[in-house]
Structure 1
Amino acid sequence: MSQPWVPFDDRGLAYGDGVFETVLLRDGQPVLWQQHLERLQSGCERLKIDPPSPADLVGTWQATPAAGWEVLKIIVTRGSGGRGYATPDVAVPRLVSRRVPFQPDPSAWAQGVSVRICSLRLARQPRLAGIKHLNRLENVLARQEWQTTDYREGLLADDHGLAVEATSMNLFWEKGGRIMTPTLDQCGVEGTLRAALIDAQLVTLAQLPIDEVASVDRLWLANSVQGVWPVNALWTAQGALLRHWGVSRHDPLQAVAHPLLGYPATP
């Protein structure tokens, strides 16, 4: 059963020892729920944490019906105990959740967004790649790189110079008629909308050096809460404009992704 608080000795609080999911609710029902369950299960398995029961996870949203859009955040930690970094012999995982009202941003769907390239580089750690673990300090540091409203997001590359993701969204691009997204086997988060688009065979996996992002035909950012944002302008970390793209009303990525979320296919 979900708890409304965590004690001081919770390992998620102390060490980031846990995973989380951010789920879009439409009229009280979770969107892409199976994909969220699979990623949470994968993250728990990778960290060797016993996952919550299906009934407890369903209880985070089923007990309180609501109308409209909400965001549900689910956090699973290893619980309390252990000595320093050593895990307890018998861990009792802790489940915490909260849901809040949400409004998507149709202007970002229709007009696109301006993004910058971050100077921070993501470290490679294959054992953590893909999962949504609680240690997001790289993302926090990257988001500190800008404070103005000129940019909606920042692009992150790894320490080999390959584009990985945005600070809180997955990256997609089109070149030569193909829509692609980075292979996230070294670092980054495998988003649930990204997983659904790969399953739909709309998107293929590829690698893109961060220095070549400005050469693609189209660029998007997307996640299962915000939907798909076309990128209309790309800037360097120093504030120089690298590329401007026009935004088409008939967007091939939105046409498939948005119905999966309950958003309009054409903004």
Structure 2
Amino acid sequence: MSWVDGQPANGLPVHDRGFAYGDGLFETIKVVNGRPELLDRHLNRLGLGCQRFAIPFDVDALRSQIMAFSAVLETGVAKLILTRGDGLRGYGPPLACRPRTVLTGAPLPAYAPERSTVGVRLYPCKTRLAEQPALAGLKHLNRLEQVLARAEWHDPAFAEGLMRDTSGRIVEAVFSNLFIVETGVLLTPSLERCGVAGVMREEILDRARQAGMPLQVCDLSLERLLGADEVFVCNSLYGIWPVRQLEARVWPVGPLTRKLQRLVDDLSSNT
């Protein structure tokens, strides 16, 4: 199931700048019973990216497309790609552009329930994230760092991989954001230099604030991660997975992780 600019389609023009240069952004949206979850957060992040890329952004038209697509999909994953549209050869973007939207649908991933209950192991990825503040936080179309990182392991015992930047700071997991708990304080890495500001990350930060939990967004070293009391990863498709192991370090599934899991479990029923 795929739509281009709101109409069923099976391909893209070869001159699309998203295909040629990765000149665009995307969102991966969980759809349950015809309703897209965390839609406002997805659209807000997309709007920020379009503002930074100087791509025109019609939020109302895009919302209507997503709602119509979700009603047909019913339950699954809607991937929204927004590109700058067609362009001539060369890096320079056209002064006037006509953005293109692509929506594709897929079944929800069948993650093992033990990942949420017992927790997951992280693979220590060697691939590092480049530090580029101009792209930091955005879910842009160039995901080659994540492709390389995910290709590092094939053992199904590892559910995710830990990624650091070129200076060695903890940033995120390959397709998730990361949190730690340190003496009762919730911490997540700063994404000022690189990384994706996930919508579930934002949801968790907001719910933690509303619940009065102490929290910090800051730089995190590997040593600080290894010394944490609790660790978990999150994204908009699966919610929260406790991290139980990274190499020789083993963590329990702690009380703050469980509390946050309960706080985000009601998303589908309240979207």
The whole-number CA distance in structure 2 between the counterparts of 1:85 and 1:181 is 35
Does residue 222 of structure 1 match 2:226? no
Instruction: Tell me which residue corresponds to 2:138.
Output: 131
Q: Distance in 1 between matches of 2:267 and 2:110?
A: 15
Contact 1:227 1:261 in 2 (8 A): no
Q: What SS does structure 2 have at the residue aligned with 1:152?
A: strand
Report the alpha carbon displacement of residue 154 of structure 1 after superposing the two structures with TM.
Answer: 0.5
CA 227–68 in structure 1, closer or farther in 2 if over 3 Å, else same: farther
Paired with 1:57 and 1:6, the residues of 2 have a C-alpha distance of: 21
Conserved 8 A contact 1:163-1:207: yes
**Alpha-carbon separation, structure 2, partners of 1:44 and 1:14:** 18
Q: Is the 8 A contact 1:52 1:95 kept in 2?
A: no
Q: Confirm whether residue 84 of structure 1 aligns to residue 96 of structure 2.
A: no
Is the 8 Å Cα contact of residues 75 and 96 (structure 1) preserved in structure 2? yes
Partner of 2:71: 65
Query: Quick one: distance in 2 between partners of 1:168 and 1:64?
Result: 22
| Contact 1:117/1:155 (<8 A) preserved | yes
Q: Structure 2-normalised TM-score?
A: 0.88
How far has the Cα of 1:209 moved from its partner?
0.5
Aligned residues: 257
Which has the higher mean CA deviation after the structures are superposed, 245-254 or 112-121?
Answer: 245-254
Question: Structure 1 residue 256: deviation in Å?
Answer: 1.7
Answer yes or no: is the 8 Å Cα contact 1:27–1:66 preserved in 2. no
Correspondence for 1:234 among 240, 243, 246:
246
Counterpart CA distance in 2 for 1:104 and 1:220 is 19
In structure 2, what is the Cα distance between the partners aligned to 1:160 and 1:98?
Answer: 36
- Over residues 50-83 of structure 1, what are the superposed CA-to-partner deviations in whole Å (9 max), with x where a residue is unaligned? 1244223322332552686411100000011134
Specify the code of the residue in structure 2 equivalent to 1:188.
Answer: G
- Give the equivalent residue in structure 2 for 1:25: 31
- Asked if residue 179 in structure 1 is aligned to residue 179 in structure 2, the reply is no
Tell me, in whole angstroms, the C-alpha distance in 1 between the residues paired with 2:217 and 2:171: 11
The aligned residue for residue 238 of structure 1 is none
1:260 aligns with 2:267: yes
1:104 is displaced (CA, Å) by 5.2
Q: Cα offset for 1:262?
A: 4.6
Contact 2:43 2:59 in 1 (8 A): no
Partner of residue 96, structure 1: 102
Contact 2:25 2:46 in 1 (8 A): yes
Helix, strand or coil at the partner of 1:213? helix
> 48-57 vs 5-14, which deviates more?
48-57
- The one-letter code sitting in structure 1 at the alignment partner of 2:66 is T
Decide whether aligned partners of structure 1 residues 122 and 193 sit closer, same or farther in structure 2, where only a CA change above 3 A counts. Answer: same
Distance 1:40 1:62, change over 3 A: same
What is the CA deviation profile of residues 35-62 of structure 1, one whole-angstrom value per residue up to 9, with x for unaligned ones?
0010000011111111244223322332
Match of 2:6 in 1: 2
For residue 140 of structure 2, give the secondary structure of its aligned residue in structure 1: coil
Q: Deviations over 1:11-38 (max 9, x none)?
A: 1011100000001111110111110010
Partner secondary structure for residue 251 of structure 1? helix
User: Is the contact made by 2:127 and 2:163 (CA closer than 8 Å) also made in structure 1?
Assistant: yes
1:31-50 aligned within 5 A: 31-50=37-56
C-alpha offsets along residues 90-112 of structure 1, whole Å, 9 cap, x if unaligned?
Answer: 21111000122215532211111
- In structure 2, C-alpha distance between the alignment counterparts of 1:89 and 1:179, rounded to whole Å: 44
The one-letter code sitting in structure 2 at the alignment partner of 1:186 is R
Q: Which residue of 1 aligns with 2:62?
A: 56
**Matches of 1:257 and 1:111, distance apart in 2:** 17
What's the % identity of the aligned pairs? Answer: 39
| C-alpha RMSD over aligned residues | 2.0
DSSP 3-state at the match of 1:134: coil
Task: Report the residue type matching 1:138 in the other structure.
Answer: E
CA distance in 1, matches of 2:190, 2:267: 22
